[in-house]
């Protein structure tokens, strides 16, 4: 009595080799849709940002242009929100003290105020309203950038883009 060989999916196989039938059409459709939406999510509109003489941005070869957002600048002498100084920087390091959570108090107060004003004006509905454009001098210490990012996150600005000079 011979029982024959069964394939992985229940089909009969000849010579003991399992028969596997896998339809890739549906999988390719899903992956192409996913790729399209990922690429669309990273697209940005062209915007020029005025460069200040005291701010030396790092250079980049990226071709993506930034959309104009709330700008935080870290120069060698100050941290500025929309060109208004909120904290002091000396020799690339933060001169003002931080609180127990690692936030910069002046920057936090300004960002919370901006967030509150936008909420009252009804501008908080889009995702761009919770984003900032961070312009940091290329010689700025990474600890200062980290504290600015932490402060912005605590204030509700969770989408951060870094500005660079295009080559």
What 8-state DSSP symbol labels residue 129? G
In this predicted model, what pLDDT tens digit does every residue of 17-56 receive, in sequence order?
777 777 788 888 888 888 887 777 666 444 555 555 666 6
In this predicted model, what pLDDT tens digit does every residue of 126-151 receive, in sequence order?
555 568 888 888 888 888 888 999 99
Q: Say how many C-beta atoms besides its own lie within 10 A of residue 5's C-beta.
A: 14
- Of the CA atoms within 13 Å of residue 138, those in its CB half-sphere come to 9
Three-state DSSP state, 120: helix
Q: Distance of CA 115 to CAs 53, 81, 129, 158, 160, Å? A: 29, 13, 8, 12, 15
- Of the CA atoms within 13 Å of residue 145, those in its CB half-sphere come to 14
Asked if 49 and 82 count as a contact pair (C-beta separation under 8 A), the reply is: no
* Extents of the domains making up the chain: 5-41, 59-166
How large is the C-alpha radius of gyration of the chain?
26
| pLDDT at site 45 | 46
Give the global pTM.
0.58
């Amino acid at each position: 009595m011979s029982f024959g060989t069964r394939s992985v999916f229940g089909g009969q196989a000849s010579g003991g080799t399992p028969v596997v039938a896998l339809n890739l059409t549906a999988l390719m459709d899903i992956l192409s849709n996913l790729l399209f939406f990922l690429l669309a999510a990273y697209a940005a509109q062209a915007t020029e940002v005025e460069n200040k003489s005291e701010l030396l941005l790092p250079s980049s070869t990226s071709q993506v242009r930034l959309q104009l957002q709330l700008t935080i600048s870290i120069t060698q002498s100050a941290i500025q929100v929309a060109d208004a100084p909120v904290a002091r920087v000396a020799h690339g390091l933060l001169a003002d003290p931080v609180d127990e959570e690692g936030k910069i108090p002046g920057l936090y107060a300004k960002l919370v105020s901006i967030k509150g004003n936008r909420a009252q004006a009804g501008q908080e509905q889009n995702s761009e309203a919770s984003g900032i454009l961070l312009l940091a001098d290329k010689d700025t210490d990474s600890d200062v950038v980290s504290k600015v990012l932490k402060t912005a996150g605590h204030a509700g600005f969770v989408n951060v883009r870094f500005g660079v000079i295009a080559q």
